Structure formats: C-alpha cells, structure tokens
C-alpha cells in the first residue's frame, strides 16, 4: 500500500510500527479489500480476520470498529491512487492520464463496495476527495493542454462520467474495460 499523502496522514487508524503488527495490519487491509469487494461493506469481520490469517481479537486491536477498518481501507485506496499519479506523471500526457484513469476505475469499484459504511459528510471522504482531485487534476490539465482531451470537459466531468459507468454491473472485467475504453474515446481528441 502506498504511503499516505499529507492530507490523509492524520486521518484514520495508524499503521503499527512493530514488524509483526504491521504485517497483520496490512494482511487485514488486503483481506478487507477482497471480502468487501466480494460481499459488500456489511461482510462479516470474522471473514476478514479469517482471510487475513489472524484472530478476531487482532482485527479489533487494529480496528476497534467496522468504521475504523472501512475508513482506513478507503484512505489506503486513495493513497494508492495518488501514488499512481506520481508514477505516471512523466509519461506522455494522454498515456499518463489513461494510466491514472485505469487505476481510478479500480478505486471506484472499492469505493462502491464501502460507500454505505461511510457517510457522505465524513471528514475522511472530504479529505480523500481533495487528495484524489489533487493527484488527478494535473494529469488531466496536462493532457488537455497538449490537445489530447476535449476542451469542453473539466476534470469533475470526467470523474462523474467514469463513476457513472462503473456504478453498473458488468458481466466481467473485460466488458467493463470495453465500456470504459469507449467512453475514453469520447474524451480524447486524437486517436
């Protein structure tokens, strides 16, 4: 999982320093990501602990409440999304934006799975949104300045377009990827 951005570092449960505790913490987050993606945010925390290979007591020591786990999972997803923006920043403008958008589609899938567990007015949501927009907007602006993205589009339009597309069910990932590719063809000015 990526290092948390400055705006996210004060939010959520902190990762333990001890190596064994940190491994358990990371295993719990990875398991929660999988279990919530499969079963939704109401999935059993016992299933999360079992998949992580730890006891339920270890889960509760790290995440005293379900909300703590969900928030930390969400913060981690945003941190990964922001790290992807840094990783692709030196690519040509369209490739950088498309690379980041590919990761963004995965982020949306996780967000859909846990959105019921967090309120829209949550300070975590506000901070995460600011971090995500701060990471993606420069990539969008650079691609638009290079003439690769329609001039009549803003970053928020693109976010809403992809969020809308990925909020529906697809037969499989390949179908989702085809639909996203068609949408991005409509965003791009040159092919």
Distance CA 174, CA 115 (A): 24
Measured at the CA of 3, the angle between CA 121 and CA 59, to 5 degrees, comes to 70
The mean per-residue pLDDT over the stretch 175-183 comes to: 90
Rounded Cα–Cα distance for residues 99 and 188 (Å): 14
Assess whether pLDDT exceeds 90 at residue 38: no
- Over pLDDT 70: what percentage of the chain? 85
Asked whether residue 180 carries a pLDDT value surpassing 70, the answer given is yes
**Bigger pLDDT: 151 vs 11:** 151
Instruction: Determine the distance from the C-alpha atom of residue 122 to the mean position of all C-alpha atoms in its chain, rounded to a whole number.
Output: 16
Burial of 116 per CB tally in 10 Å (0-12, 13-18, 19+): exposed
Asked if pLDDT for residue 10 goes beyond 70, the answer is no
Domains and CATH numbers, the chain: 13-64 (1.10.10.60), 69-187 (1.10.357.10)
| Residue 107 confidence class, pLDDT cut points 50, 70, 90 | confident
Sorting pLDDT into bands at 50, 70 and 90, what band is 163? confident
Q: Which one has a higher pLDDT value, 38 or 155?
A: 155
Give the confidence band of 142 by pLDDT, cuts at 50, 70, 90: very high
């Amino acid at each position: 999982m990526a290092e948390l951005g400055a705006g996210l570092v004060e939010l959520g449960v902190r990762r333990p320093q001890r190596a064994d505790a940190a491994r358990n913490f990371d295993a719990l987050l990875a398991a929660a990501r999988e279990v919530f993606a499969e079963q939704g945010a109401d999935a059993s925390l016992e299933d999360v602990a079992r998949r992580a290979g730890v006891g339920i007591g270890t889960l509760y020591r790290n995440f005293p409440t379900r909300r703590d786990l969900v928030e930390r999972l969400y913060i981690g997803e945003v941190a990964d999304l922001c790290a992807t923006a840094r990783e692709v920043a030196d690519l040509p403008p369209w490739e950088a934006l498309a690379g980041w958008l590919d990761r963004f589609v995965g982020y949306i899938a996780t967000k859909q799975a846990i959105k019921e567990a967090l309120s829209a007015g949550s300070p975590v949501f506000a901070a995460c949104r600011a971090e995500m927009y701060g990471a993606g907007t420069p990539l969008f602006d650079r691609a638009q300045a290079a003439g690769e993205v329609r001039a009549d589009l803003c970053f928020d339009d693109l976010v809403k377009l992809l969020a809308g597309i990925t909020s529906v069910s697809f037969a499989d990932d390949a179908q989702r990827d085809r639909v996203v590719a068609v949408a991005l063809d409509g965003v791009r000015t040159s092919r």
